[in-house]
Amino acid sequence: MNTLYITGAGVSAESGIPTFRGKDGYWTIGSKNYAPEEMATRAMYENNPVEFLSWYYHRFASYRNYKPNSVHQWLSDKNLITQNIDGLDGKAGNTNYIAIHGRLDQMTLFHDQNNPDIDIITTPWDSIDEENVVESLLDLFQITGTPKLNKSFKPYVLLFDEIYTELYRISEAQQRMYKADRIIFIGTSFSVNITEMALSIAFKQKTPIEIVDLDPINPPLLNAKIHKMEASTYVDKIKNGELF
- Rounded CA-CA distance 220/180 in Å is 20
Number of folded domains in the chain? 2
140 lies in the same domain as 220? no
pLDDT tens by residue, 161-188:
999 999 999 999 999 999 999 999 999 9
Final residue before a domain boundary, out of 114, 129, 157: 157
149 lies in the same domain as 205? no
**Residue 114 structural domain:** 18-65+106-157
153 lies in the same domain as 224? no
pLDDT tens by residue, 74-133:
999 999 999 999 999 999 999 999 999 999 999 999 999 988 889 999 999 999 999 999
193 lies in the same domain as 87? yes
Assign 24 a pLDDT band (cuts: 50, 70, 90): very low
- Rounded CA-CA distance 61/68 in Å is 16
- Rounded CA-CA distance 188/2 in Å is 20
86 lies in the same domain as 138? no
10 lies in the same domain as 80? yes
41 lies in the same domain as 127? yes
CATH number at residue 206: 3.40.50.1220
77 lies in the same domain as 188? yes
pLDDT at 79: 98
143 lies in the same domain as 28? yes
47 lies in the same domain as 10? no
pLDDT at 19: 59
94 lies in the same domain as 190? yes
22 lies in the same domain as 96? no
Q: What is the DSSP secondary-structure string of the chain?
A: --EEEEE-HHHHGGGTPPPTTSTT-TTTS--SSS-HHHHSSHHHHHH-HHHHHHHHHHHHGGGTT----HHHHHGGGSEEEE---S-HHHHTT-SS-EETTEEEEEEEE---TT-----EEE--GGG--TTSHHHHHHHHTT-BSB--TTTSEEEEE--TT----GGGTHHHHHHHHHH-SEEEEES--S-SHHHHHHHHHHHHHT--EEEE-SS----TTS-PEEE-S-HHHHHHHHHTTS--
Residue bearing the bigger pLDDT, 50 or 24: 50
Please list, in sequence order, all residues whose beta carbon lies within 8 angstroms of the beta carbon of residue 229, skipping any fewer than 6 positions away: 212, 214, 237
Residue bearing the bigger pLDDT, 108 or 243: 108
